[in-house]
Amino acid sequence: MLFSFSRLSVSQLADPPIQPYYKPVDYVDTLGQVHQELEVSPDHDKSRLYLEQSFVFRGLGELKLLRRSLRSAWQHATSTHEKLVYASWLKYERREEELDSKSADCCGVGKLDLPQLEGADDLLQACSTSGSHDDDIVFLFGSERVHCNRQKIAALSAPFYAMLNGCFTESQTRAIQFSENGISVVGMKVVDTFSKTGTLGRLPPKIILEVLSFSNRFFCERMKVACDQSLAALIHNLDDAIAFVDYGLEETAQVLVATCLQVFLRELPLSLRNPNVSKHFCNAESRKRFIAVGHSSFALYALLSQVAMEDDISSQLSASLLCQLRDCASSFRQRALVYHQQGCVMLARKQYKEALEFFQAAAEEGHAYSCAGIARVKLKCGDKQAAFKETTCLITCYKACGWMYQERSLYGSGKMKMADLDKATELDPTLTYPYKYRAAALMDDHKVVEAIAEINRVLCFKVTPDCLELRIYFCLALQDYDGAVRDIRALLTLDPAYMMYTGRVSAAQLLVLLSEHVDQWTKADCWMQLYDRWSSVDDIGSLAVVHQMLETDPGKGLLYFRQSLLLLRLSCPKAAMRSLRLAREHTTSVPERLVYEGWILYDTGHRQEALQKAEESISIHRSFEAFFLKAYALADTSLDPESSTKVINLLEEALRCPSDGLRKGQALNNLGSVYVDCGKFDLAADCYVSALKIRHTRAHQGLARVHFLQGDRKSAYDEMTKLIEKACNKASAYEKRSEYCERDIGISDLNMVTKIDPLRTYPYRYRAAVLMDNHREQEAIAELSKAIAFKADLQLLHLRGAFYECVGDVAAALRDCRAALSVDPHHTDTLELQNKVMQVRA
């Protein structure tokens, strides 16, 4: 039965999805254009441009840069509505990182600027000076009477002033019949009180709504604002917002609508699944109502559309929201994105005619990636040859990209298909589909070992659930149940609800089935296995052991914390943050909880707050983890001589506290690094040797650095060789060893780094610098361009810009400078290079 589970054919491999993102062929050029527009745009247009910059970063998968662009959009927003939307968007993007899911976003999403009524002070002055406070007019409601002051009521609005002081009959009478004006006796008494005091007091919502409606009818703007703000103060949760938003829209109450909208956005994605919320955004009539109160924008519908598509791209809600988003689009980039997203939604809904029209519209706006959507629609309609021609035309007309060859491979066969897949990997090694297809094809040929080797190529630098799933099938085919269980546990760590076999079997179920085919480990066995895998730098293996330990070990807080460390090593930040939150939830003490909260704050960029948490934890209980956190955060904040001494003392305090060898090895390694920075090489070497004695294998790298700084290059090289021999993940070790040998051997090591992990940028920069030294400028630029094609890296962009400046290509140098400044607007070297290039151009 288990072997039958392992059968896999390339025909069962799902095609890579058309992503609903903005993906320009040359993202560097697009970032450069946006940055250039930002340099000259008026203030009111900057938030739009930063939003469009975020489109590019989302398409590149650069989530940190995406968030920074959204924050810049928030900082440059010129209206309360825009600030609310961008702050909510940032909160949504960081929803898994907050200590308290109900807390307001750091941008101030919990605060709203209340509108100020122009001339309000003059009206208040009029209320206090026009006549006495004696009641000299009566409003009649059948048999009931409400006594008021004529001048105070007249001061509420121009219509009342004209009625009570002008040429109307009411100006000459003391009693005025008022029962037909849509307000009750109680409501009129509130109006009277407001006219005299300027306040409403604490009132039931029904009465405030009545007075609000009355204020609109008689243009009592000051009283309307008071009602608006009073009602807004009553909104505390989603139910309140649902109950009052219609009233706010009907009465054009800006603050009430803003507050309701704030709650809707704060509760995303759950709020959008509520039909009583989504109905307010899904048609043109509803959008017009929001426009009337100043709360409709492209940014708002872009956020809502994103949330809806992430929830269910084929839903009617996604389609409806995108229709509204399209009507809000004002630039060619916005239109290109919306049309492309509409094409993706229609493709998912199998409405191929509409999908084709939208993809074509996006392509006409200059979005070449939508041509992949056109080809996919033609394939779905049965015309594979037309799809092949579409992608061939794409490759011919544009600068070649990895995704273009990946897309064309879907419509080819045999050697041509494999050639396209190989070209896709060459141009963009981060694309996982080519590895998966080649591995599945090898499996079809019963070459299971080779299939595993192929999928391992991508798992060495990019761990994803789908690639782990594939390796599980291959392990089952070899009846390697230990390997299969290892990968299932790692997969469940990344996604606890993952479904295998095209959604038919949960990974958790398969783990139960396989458990009887593997050895059962005791707690002591698990610790031994964890030490072995940790020492051999086998992060996936370590992750699997921790997952098993979590099933039985009551000390789950510490284990979840270890899990988060491993996930960070594997570049899985979202899963790492989830594990950190679980560590906090499963903590057994207040000091421990404070440490995990500190790490959450540290990982989200709040260094000082992390330090405070560490200090608070230490004040309650002196522990290894609290001292380690404080030392780590302090070292990252500042490392002047005084701070270095503090860090050393903190790490020494940590080492005096109880902990296991795995963590003490890390502390010794960090202590050694600080000693090196302080020039205390002998003390550093002692730390690294001590770390190695407790099997902290990465200490070889620190010890090699000490040897090198002491002038012993050969010992440094030999030390790194030991690390390479021991480590499963060897890329960083090869990279560091390249610094301790002759250039030719170093180049060989760096080529090995690129083969193992093409995402590491130092090898490209080094090889390019060597080529530049040899006056092979175009080859140097081409070397950098290889990596830039799939990684928006500041150093790569800056260096290529400098190379372009050297060869006199001013336009290309300026473009790269602007793209680099999109990644880091404050990078000093790039700012200096840009000024230099601008002077040359001038």
Q: According to the model, what pLDDT value does residue 39 have?
A: 94
Question: Using 50, 70 and 90 to split pLDDT, how confident is the model at 128?
Answer: very low
User: CA-to-CA distance for 700 and 720, rounded, in angstroms?
Assistant: 6
Average pLDDT of 608-612? Answer: 93
646-691 confidence digits (pLDDT tens) = 999 999 999 999 998 889 999 999 999 999 999 999 999 999 999 9
pLDDT at 641 > cutoff 90: no
736-787 confidence digits (pLDDT tens) = 999 999 999 999 999 999 999 999 999 999 999 999 999 999 999 999 999 9
Q: According to the model, what pLDDT value does residue 103 have?
A: 45
Are 293 and 332 a contacting pair, CB within 8 Å?
no
pLDDT at 115 > cutoff 50: no
159-196 confidence digits (pLDDT tens) = 999 888 887 877 788 899 898 888 999 999 999 999 99
Q: For the chain, how are helix, strand and coil distributed in percent, rounded to 5? A: 70, 0, 30
User: CA-to-CA distance for 126 and 222, rounded, in angstroms?
Assistant: 12
| High-pLDDT (> 70) share of the chain, % | 94
Average pLDDT of 262-269? Answer: 95
Q: Which two tokens stand for residue 118?
A: 């122009």
Average pLDDT of 817-823? Answer: 97
Q: According to the model, what pLDDT value does residue 111 have?
A: 53
Q: According to the model, what pLDDT value does residue 421 have?
A: 97
Q: Which two tokens stand for residue 567?
A: 């996930």
326-384 confidence digits (pLDDT tens) = 999 999 999 999 999 999 999 999 999 999 999 999 999 999 999 999 999 999 999 99
User: What is each CA distance from 392 to 375, 412, 557, 796, in whole angstroms?
Assistant: 10, 11, 53, 30
pLDDT at 568 > cutoff 60: yes
* pLDDT: which is higher, 534 or 842: 534
pLDDT at 255 > cutoff 60: yes
Q: According to the model, what pLDDT value does residue 9 have?
A: 67
Q: According to the model, what pLDDT value does residue 127 have?
A: 39
User: CA-to-CA distance for 406 and 420, rounded, in angstroms?
Assistant: 6
Q: Which two tokens stand for residue 806?
A: 């050297």
pLDDT at 131 > cutoff 80: no
- Locus of tokens 């004529």: 150
User: What is each CA distance from 243 to 76, 106, 206, 477, in whole angstroms?
Assistant: 32, 28, 12, 58
Q: According to the model, what pLDDT value does residue 822 have?
A: 97
537-552 confidence digits (pLDDT tens) = 999 999 999 999 999 8
CA dihedral 506, 508, 509, 513 (to 10 degrees): 140
Average pLDDT of 280-308? Answer: 94
Q: Which two tokens stand for residue 14?
A: 């799902």
User: CA-to-CA distance for 489 and 566, rounded, in angstroms?
Assistant: 13
Q: Which residues contact residue 315 at a Cβ distance below 8 angstroms, ignoring those fewer than 6 apart?
A: 308
807-814: long-range pairs with CB below 8 Å, 24+: 807/777, 807/778, 807/781, 810/837, 810/840, 810/841, 813/837, 814/32, 814/838, 814/841
> Burial of 169 by CB count in 10 Å (0-12 exposed, 13-18 middle, 19+ buried)?
exposed
Q: According to the model, what pLDDT value does residue 173 have?
A: 86
The conformation of residue 237, written as its DSSP 8-state character, comes to S
pLDDT at 124 > cutoff 70: no
Average pLDDT of 824-828? Answer: 96
Q: According to the model, what pLDDT value does residue 450 have?
A: 96
Question: Using 50, 70 and 90 to split pLDDT, how confident is the model at 126?
Answer: very low
* pLDDT: which is higher, 103 or 467: 467
Q: What's the chain's average pLDDT?
A: 91
**The domain made up of 761-842 is a member of CATH 3.30.465.10:** no
Which of 23-37, 127-141, 181-195, 363-377 shows the lowest per-residue confidence on average (mean pLDDT)? 127-141
User: CA-to-CA distance for 390 and 379, rounded, in angstroms?
Assistant: 11
Are 24 and 30 a contacting pair, CB within 8 Å?
yes
Q: Which residues contact residue 133 at a Cβ distance below 8 angstroms, ignoring those fewer than 6 apart?
A: 149, 152, 196
Question: Using 50, 70 and 90 to split pLDDT, how confident is the model at 107?
Answer: low
Q: According to the model, what pLDDT value does residue 751 have?
A: 96
pLDDT at 72 > cutoff 90: yes
Task: Kindly write down the DSSP assignment for every residue of 534-555, as one continuous string.
Answer: HHTT-HHHHHHHHHHHHHH-S-
pLDDT at 2 > cutoff 50: no
Q: How many CB atoms lie within 10 A of CB 404?
A: 27
Q: According to the model, what pLDDT value does residue 639 have?
A: 66
* pLDDT: which is higher, 109 or 653: 653
User: CA-to-CA distance for 355 and 374, rounded, in angstroms?
Assistant: 8
Q: How many CB atoms lie within 10 A of CB 100?
A: 7
pLDDT at 110 > cutoff 60: no
The three-state (H, E, C) secondary structure of 504-535, written as one string = CEEHHHHHHHHHCCCCCCCHHHHHHHHHHHHH
Q: According to the model, what pLDDT value does residue 588 have?
A: 84
CA dihedral 527, 528, 533, 534 (to 10 degrees): 60
Q: Which two tokens stand for residue 418?
A: 């494999």
Q: According to the model, what pLDDT value does residue 122 have?
A: 43
Q: How many CB atoms lie within 10 A of CB 653?
A: 19
Q: According to the model, what pLDDT value does residue 155 have?
A: 92
